[in-house]
Amino acid sequence: MKNSSIELVVEFSDTGEPLRKETFVTRPMIKLSLVYECVSFLSILEDNPNTNDIQLMLDLVVRIYDEQFSKNQLIDGLPSHKAVPELYKQILFVASGNQVSDEIEDTVKSNPKIKSQEIKTWKEYKGQLNELIKDMTKEGKDMNEVLNLPYAFMVTDLSEEVKKVEHKESMLDAFM
């Protein structure tokens, strides 16, 4: 699995100069529920985030890093001119599935059935995630269980499921 990292200033001098920085790394397995939240947020985000959007971004990033730091530490630890782009980058990392390993990503990309389902907007992506969650709960899985699954597992499971489907020319071939 791939990780993202964020560097925060964790100690300041009396004059406000950074004394010590610390690098935090995302957890290896990010839950589907967090991916869904990031996609949902991006689907409603306007060009220039307002104060409420920035508060939501801060909350999401704290949870992306599994609360290794607080919201206040995040606010204080990022340089003001880089804060919003850094928050956006972290949310985009999770929403776009960048945490999935290269091996899984290559398998998914090489699959023609998955390739043909290109997503053009975050709203479309959110809709596809909704359908995936609905399908899994229709199969008898608990909603919380589905949302707590690691996203990478979902991608791996889907790519293997699509691989298993074989097209047969006749009904007789399908049963042989």
Q: Is residue 176 part of a domain?
A: no
Q: What is the pLDDT of residue 116?
A: 43
Residue 173 lies in a domain: no
Using left for φ > 0, alpha for ψ between -120 and 50, and beta otherwise, residue 16 falls in: left
Find the range with the poorest average confidence among 13-17, 51-55, 148-152. 148-152
Q: Is residue 96 part of a domain?
A: yes
In a domain, 170, yes or no: no
The pLDDT assigned to 111 comes to: 45
Mean pLDDT across the chain, nearest whole number? 80
Quick one: how far is CA 100 from the chain centroid? Answer: 9
Amino acid at 158: L
- Both tokens assigned to 142: 């608990």
pLDDT per position as a tens digit, 118-136: 567 888 888 888 888 888 8
What is the rounded distance in angstroms from the CA atom of residue 129 to the CA atom of residue 106? 20
On whether the pTM is more than 0.75, the answer is no
**In a domain? residue 121:** yes
Confidence of residue 43 (pLDDT cuts 50, 70, 90): very high
In a domain, 171, yes or no: no
Any domain includes 18: yes
Nearest CA to 73 out of 161, 83, 149, 43 is that of 83
CA dist., res. 61 & res. 83, Å (int): 11
Cα 6 from Cα 168, distance rounded (Å): 50
**Tokens representing residue 158 in the block:** 């889907």
- pLDDT, one tens digit per residue, over 48-97 is 899 999 999 999 999 999 999 999 999 999 998 999 999 999 999 998 87
> Residue 128: which domain range?
1-165
Residues forming beta bridges with residue 5, ordered by sequence position: 25
Does some domain include residue 174? no
Q: Number of folded domains in the chain?
A: 1
